[in-house]
């Protein structure tokens, strides 16, 4: 290393020690005093401006802002303490200068508090921040209160008092509430309180979805077996259904041929119920199976394969052309206009097959709109029918126990689940969906 890069006069190499700091010429006293006074004035002026800004913004910020301001105030206090210590160590005259500048800055720091209202004088900064956050949350966007809060306060206008802010918050809350929606019409309730039927008056789905329809292949095997034994396919299917054989394939071809052979051995001229009793030996089973037989025959095999909705037109056509089915003109127009539910049509066909004739007194047309004040009747959407006579005998005057009405209600309760009504009203109550009502002495009300 060249020698000229090394100072040999350094004290590490034996040179003379450096001169002490005191030996340097100090700055003049006036210069030090002016510098200290200038920095002190700038510091307190900045602190005063920060305090004024914090007091003006405290009503419009949330609790988090209050916490941050508190932390800034703590930092300012620490800085003031550090500055004061530095000033005392710098010179006694600097302290005197700071004391002279402090009275000038103090009124500026106290000015926001003097303009605050008397109602908020006792409120802490945390309470003021929380109240401001609540007011901002309740103000709707675009409201006058919100627009005034976002802008600077107008000159000469005092900040809002606590009561004014509470009133503005209440008005904003009422503004945000949704308008009251119209009350939905109450559902139709009929029957006793402990067993009432609720009418929703909404469109009903197909009562025979694909899972409840017969397979076309099964229908072909059924008709072939019945034709070979000389029996009615409806009797065979009624017996299978009464035995619990449901689904698209209630029985295989071998079972169908065996059942047809047994039913044919009792002779077809004895009637459905007598044939089934001779086959099973059980009158209760025969009642159920005979009712299912009449239903199958009433709607037809095509409806059992394709579904009731698909066969609705054919069922309606048969009812309108059948002289044993008496329907008033308004009801016939309802059926032609396709306003009546298919369950109603299937029930009329079932009662005609059971009693030989049926008289319909009310479907949609002619029935009152409300079942009770404010409650729309189930007849209006086509979900109900009133039966006035069966087999040529009127319902009125024949509602005694053991009479026509009791038999009719029993047959209705034997109907399959696809068309089982939710309500059967007469003067008799026989359990299930049937119950009595005093104003149904002249007809049987059947509702779905």
Q: What is the pLDDT of residues 311-355, one digit of tens each?
A: 999 999 999 999 999 999 999 999 999 999 999 999 999 999 999
Sequence spans of domains, the chain = 29-115, 125-150+159-176, 210-447
What's the whole-number mean pLDDT along residues 44-53?
69
Q: 145-154, 183-192, 314-323, 345-354 — which is least confidently predicted?
A: 145-154
Identify the residue with better confidence: 27 or 47.
47
Q: Which residues contact 47 (CB under 8 A, 6 or more apart)?
A: 76, 80, 105, 109
Span 92-114, average pLDDT: 39
Q: Residue 306: how many CA atoms within 13 Å on its side-chain side? A: 12
Looking at per-residue pLDDT, the higher value among 446 and 113 belongs to 446
pLDDT confidence of 14, banded at 50, 70, 90?
A: low
Q: How high is the mean pLDDT of the chain?
A: 73
Give the pLDDT confidence score for residue 227 in this predicted structure.
93
How many CB atoms lie under 10 A from the CB of residue 430?
A: 17
d(CA 443, CA 425): 8
pLDDT tens per residue across span 397-448: 999 988 999 999 999 999 999 999 988 989 998 888 888 888 888 999 998 8
Residue 110 is predicted with a pLDDT of 39
- The helix (H) or strand (E) run that includes residue 42 is helix 29-57
Distance CA 55, CA 38 (A): 26
- Taking residues 77-96, what's their average pLDDT? 45
User: What's the pLDDT at 214?
Assistant: 95
Least confident of 96-100, 247-251, 285-289, 338-342: 96-100
Least confident of 318-322, 347-351, 365-369, 371-375: 371-375
Look at residue 288 and tell me whether its pLDDT is greater than 90. Answer: yes
Phi and psi for 421 in degrees, rounded to 5?
-70, 160
Please, are residues 239 and 289 in contact by the beta-carbon 8 Å criterion?
Answer: yes
The backbone region for 13, taken as left when phi is positive above 0, alpha when psi lies in -120 to 50, beta otherwise, is alpha
Confidence tier at 85 by pLDDT (50, 70, 90): very low
User: What are φ and ψ of residue 362, in 5° steps?
Assistant: -160, 130
Give me 397's structure tokens.
Answer: 């005057």
What is the reported pLDDT for 218? 96
Mean pLDDT, residues 290-305 taken together: 95
Greater confidence, 397 or 377?
A: 397
Highest mean pLDDT among 70-84, 190-204, 271-285: 271-285
Instruction: Report the range of poorest mean pLDDT among 26-35, 93-102, 344-353.
Output: 93-102
pLDDT band at residue 192 under the 50/70/90 scheme: low
Both tokens of 349, joined, read 């066909």
Of 139-148, 178-187, 249-258, 433-442, the range with the highest mean pLDDT is 249-258
CB 382 within 8 A of CB 334: yes
Give the pTM: 0.56
Question: What's the gap between Cα 16 and its chain centre?
Answer: 94
CA 220 to chain centre: 47
């Amino acid at each position: 290393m060249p020698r000229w890069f090394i100072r040999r006069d350094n004290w590490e190499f034996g040179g003379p020690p450096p001169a002490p700091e005191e030996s340097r010429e100090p700055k003049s006293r006036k210069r030090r005093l002016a510098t200290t006074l200038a920095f002190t004035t700038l510091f307190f002026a900045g602190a005063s401006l920060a305090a004024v800004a914090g007091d003006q913004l405290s009503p419009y910020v949330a609790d988090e802002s209050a916490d941050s301001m508190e932390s800034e105030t703590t930092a300012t206090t620490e800085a003031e303490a550090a500055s004061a210590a530095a000033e005392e160590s710098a010179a006694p005259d600097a302290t005197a200068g700071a004391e002279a500048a402090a009275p000038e800055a103090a009124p500026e720091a106290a000015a926001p508090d003097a303009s605050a209202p008397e109602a908020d004088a006792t409120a802490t900064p945390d309470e003021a921040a929380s109240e401001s956050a609540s007011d901002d949350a309740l103000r709707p966007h675009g409201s006058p209160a919100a627009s005034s809060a976002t802008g600077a306060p107008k000159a000469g206008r005092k900040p809002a008092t606590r009561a004014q802010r509470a009133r503005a918050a209440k008005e904003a809350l009422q503004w945000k509430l949704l308008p009251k929606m119209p009350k939905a019409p109450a559902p139709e309730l009929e029957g006793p309180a402990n067993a009432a039927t609720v009418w929703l008056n909404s469109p009903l789905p197909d009562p025979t979805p694909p899972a409840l329809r017969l397979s076309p292949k099964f229908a072909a095997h059924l008709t072939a077996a019945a034709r070979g034994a000389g029996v009615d396919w409806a009797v065979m299917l009624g017996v299978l259904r009464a035995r619990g054989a449901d689904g698209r394939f209630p029985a295989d071809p071998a079972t169908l041929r065996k059942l047809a052979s047994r039913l044919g051995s009792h002779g077809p001229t004895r009637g459905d119920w007598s044939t089934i009793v001779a086959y099973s030996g059980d009158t209760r089973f025969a009642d159920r199976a005979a009712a299912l037989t009449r239903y199958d025959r009433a709607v037809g095999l095509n409806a059992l394969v394709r579904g009731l909705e698909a066969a609705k037109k054919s069922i309606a056509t048969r009812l309108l052309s059948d002289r044993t089915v008496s329907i008033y003109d308004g009801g016939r127009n309802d059926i032609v206009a396709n306003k009546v539910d298919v369950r109603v049509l299937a029930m009329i066909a079932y009662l005609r097959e059971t009693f030989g004739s049926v008289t319909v007194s009310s479907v949609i047309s002619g029935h009152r709109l409300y079942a009770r004040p404010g409650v729309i009747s189930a007849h209006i959407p086509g979900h109900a029918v009133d039966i006035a006579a069966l087999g040529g005998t009127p319902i009125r005057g024949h509602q005694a126990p053991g009479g026509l009405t009791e038999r009719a209600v029993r047959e209705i309760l034997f109907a399959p689940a696809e068309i089982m009504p939710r309500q059967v009203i007469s003067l008799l109550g026989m359990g299930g969906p049937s119950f009595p009502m005093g104003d149904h002495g002249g007809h049987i009300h059947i509702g779905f």
